[in-house]
Structure 1
Amino acid sequence: MPRTPKERFDVLGLGCTAVDDLLYVDAYPPADAKLRIRRRERQCGGLTATALVAAARLGARCAYAGVLGDDEDSRFVLDTLTREGIDTRHVVRRKHARPIRSVILVDETHKTRNIFYDTAGVIGASPDGPSEKNIRSSRVLFVDLWGIDGMIRAARIARAAGIPIVGDLERSNAPRFRELLRLIDHLIVPEDFACSFTGSRDAASAATKLWQKDRVVVVTCGARGCCAATSSTAKATEFSAFKVKVVDTTGCGDVFHGAYAAALAFGWPLPARIRFAAAAAALKATKPGGQAGIPLRSDLEKFLTARRDP
């Protein structure tokens, strides 16, 4: 779908960024143990930042307009996003703001990871930015829970302009959570959160309970795929995952979100969006690291051409 002169960005994101220090070990240690680190690396991460990098690598024109500071970690995030071709001109700079700082312990034997994070100084979305003009110039608005007052403001502007809102919500105890939830028309959440929040026993039931007439709900289930309830019916449809050799699942959920947002901006129907997102997440799982393992559009197209599943 060609971009109109008023649409400067395919995907605009406002929320969570992070600096991730990844430590790779043979297996997660027991209490009071010493453990050799096999290798370590630093990457940019965070819900919104990783989703935007995924969308950008998959061909979407993206912008980040959240709040960061002047510290080394903020500069690292901005430099990373800029290298990925993401527009950062509308980032709000505040002296004491900073990204999330996290240490991710990756268990290379069991292909799992544990995340330890510090949120001191994290703002996410500004309560009064970006401008209405910038919000209205995007095809898709991407929101999370970091800076929820700013998220709600931006979501209201987008909704009034008919711009779809993709939401990555992973906890329900945030102030004004339900207010933001009501504004999201493409809700993508993991199975554990969906079941806990709705009191459901399975992903399909949770998707149905989270559904409303103007909303698509996708409940992701890792290697089992996902369940989706469309904007026209509450009955959930199951989608299988691609089968791959898993190396590292760090960032797979965020990559799914970003690929889905990109496909939505491209104007694709729901089954194509989910297949695109599932393939991007699967390819990411075959590579170590978070953002470092996100595929390019050319790699994803080759993968999809060669695979008939799911």
Structure 2
Amino acid sequence: MDVYGLGTLAMDVLMKVDNLPSEDGFCIVKSNDRQPGGSGTNVIVQLARLSAKCGYMGAVGDDALGKDVLKSLRDENVDTKSMIVKPGKITLHTDIVIDDEGRKFIMLNMGDAFESLTSDELDYSAVSSAKVFYTDLLPKEPAITGLKKARKAGVKTVFNMQVGLGTMQGLHVSKEEILSALKFTNIFAPCRGGLYELTGTTDLDACVRYLRDYCKGTLLFTLGKEGSVAYDEQDRKYTVKSCDLEVVDSTGAGDSYMGSFIYQYCLNGMSIEESMKFATMCAGHTCTGIGARFSPDLKTAETFVWK
């Protein structure tokens, strides 16, 4: 396959209520809905929509949420033969409570399936036969093992750190383990907050100098409204501005960017700068709709991105 992913997955359980209750208060649930989410699967779905042949690995429970996760991937033509279903366990999900004015709060329920995935359950043949191995380093042990196995097999590796250092540590991944994983990484793409916390500076050139002790590959920094910046292996710097458009919902824009960049740079051999421009436009498209998976398919990208 083109890209094999191992990382976060989730179902978003949306509850529309008449009001957000205060302490000891209550509200009336007006409707319930489920939407697939999870940064790792969002990236892979974007790749699949752009015509990449993708597979994914993670652990879900045998509950209704787990079945929904699997169906959502299969509906996007993502190979799920490596997915592990854990009997009696609960699938990672978020409970999102939204009132009539759009105010909300989010509760992350880790469940007990996602983090139970072990390195022994990793599909080594899928990792070694792919062109690209993608991970956000969660869950830690199989993700780190996957990076090592992929590099040994000559597979290009991408580590996309989507959350801050504090969240990574809360998910049992230390700063030292993150830095150690970088030696097996061809492309490191941390979110802005995670980058600054990891390096201890907000100066991008200083961030690069810090990271070069650990990662010799391409460094890709997404900066929200400020666009994106990349440094190649020779530390040549590339800067691309964000799209000038009316944002409806920025949820999932970073995932769309990452999937689109991998598609052009890793699979199609496009230059770093041109791949960044393509990814920026795809992320911009995601911002014009509602939800993390309002990401373009190849036909939409060809009309929206290149118009």
Q: Same fold (TM over 0.5)?
A: yes
* Corresponding residue for residue 99 of structure 1: 91
What is the letter of the counterpart of residue 187 of structure 1? F
1:81 to 69, 73, 85: 73
Q: What is the TM-score with the length of structure 1 in the denominator? A: 0.83
Q: What is the TM-score with the length of structure 2 in the denominator? A: 0.84
Moved more, 154-163 or 208-217: 208-217
Is the Cα contact below 8 Å between 1:204 and 1:238 reproduced in 2? no
1:44 is paired with a residue of what secondary structure?
Answer: strand
2:111 to 120, 135, 150: 120
Is the Cα contact below 8 Å between 1:108 and 1:248 reproduced in 2? no
What is the letter of the counterpart of residue 56 of structure 2? Y
Structure 1 residue 230: deviation in Å? 1.0
2:4 matches 1:12: yes
Inter-CA distance 246–104: structure 2 relative to 1 (3 Å threshold): farther
Inter-CA distance 208–66: structure 2 relative to 1 (3 Å threshold): same
Structure 1 residue 278: deviation in Å? 1.4
Q: How does 1:64-79 map to 2 (within 5 A)?
A: 64-79=56-71
Inter-CA distance 11–24: structure 2 relative to 1 (3 Å threshold): farther
1:20 is paired with a residue of what secondary structure?
Answer: strand
1:284 to 273, 286, 292: 286
2:188 is paired with a residue of what secondary structure?
Answer: strand
Q: How does 1:153-172 map to 2 (within 5 A)?
A: 153-169=145-161, 170-172=163-165
Is the Cα contact below 8 Å between 2:63 and 2:91 reproduced in 1? no
What is the letter of the counterpart of residue 201 of structure 1? T
What is the letter of the counterpart of residue 111 of structure 2? A
Moved more, 150-159 or 160-169: 160-169
Structure 1 residue 64: deviation in Å? 0.9
2:136 matches 1:134: no
What is the letter of the counterpart of residue 119 of structure 1? M
What is the letter of the counterpart of residue 44 of structure 1? P
Structure 1 residue 248: deviation in Å? 0.9
2:35 is paired with a residue of what secondary structure?
Answer: strand
Is the Cα contact below 8 Å between 1:217 and 1:229 reproduced in 2? yes
What is the letter of the counterpart of residue 266 of structure 1? N
Is the Cα contact below 8 Å between 1:12 and 1:62 reproduced in 2? yes
* Corresponding residue for residue 179 of structure 2: 178
Is the Cα contact below 8 Å between 1:142 and 1:166 reproduced in 2? yes
What is the letter of the counterpart of residue 276 of structure 1? F
Structure 1 residue 38: deviation in Å? 9.5
* Identical positions, percent: 24
1:209 is paired with a residue of what secondary structure?
Answer: helix
* Corresponding residue for residue 303 of structure 2: 302
Distance of 1:107 and 1:36 partners within structure 2:
10
* Corresponding residue for residue 5 of structure 1: none
| Structure 1 segments unaligned to the other structure (5+ residues) | 1-8
Inter-CA distance 208–276: structure 2 relative to 1 (3 Å threshold): farther
Structure 1 residue 205: deviation in Å? 3.7
Moved more, 161-170 or 279-288: 161-170
Distance of 2:65 and 2:233 partners within structure 1:
40
Deviations 1:172-224 (A, max 9, x none): 42143333233222111111111121111244543443346631111111111
Inter-CA distance 238–105: structure 2 relative to 1 (3 Å threshold): farther
RMSD of aligned alpha carbons: 3.0
Distance of 1:105 and 1:224 partners within structure 2:
30
Structure 1 residue 268: deviation in Å? 2.2
1:123 is paired with a residue of what secondary structure?
Answer: helix
Structure 1 residue 140: deviation in Å? 0.6
Structure 1 residue 168: deviation in Å? 1.8
Moved more, 239-248 or 251-260: 251-260
* Corresponding residue for residue 143 of structure 2: 151
Inter-CA distance 228–108: structure 2 relative to 1 (3 Å threshold): farther
1:257 is paired with a residue of what secondary structure?
Answer: helix
Structure 1 residue 70: deviation in Å? 1.1
2:107 is paired with a residue of what secondary structure?
Answer: strand
Is the Cα contact below 8 Å between 1:14 and 1:124 reproduced in 2? no
What is the letter of the counterpart of residue 281 of structure 1? A
Structure 1 residue 261: deviation in Å? 2.2
What is the letter of the counterpart of residue 116 of structure 1? M
Structure 1 residue 24: deviation in Å? 7.4
Structure 1 residue 118: deviation in Å? 1.2
What is the letter of the counterpart of residue 148 of structure 1? K
Structure 1 residue 67: deviation in Å? 1.8
What is the letter of the counterpart of residue 48 of structure 2? A
Q: How does 1:230-241 map to 2 (within 5 A)?
A: 230-233=232-235, 236-241=237-242
Inter-CA distance 192–137: structure 2 relative to 1 (3 Å threshold): same
Distance of 1:120 and 1:143 partners within structure 2:
20
Inter-CA distance 161–257: structure 2 relative to 1 (3 Å threshold): same
* Corresponding residue for residue 253 of structure 1: 254
Deviations 1:220-272 (A, max 9, x none): 11111011111221x54321111121111111112222222222222222112
Moved more, 99-108 or 68-77: 99-108
| Structure 2 segments unaligned to the other structure (5+ residues) | none
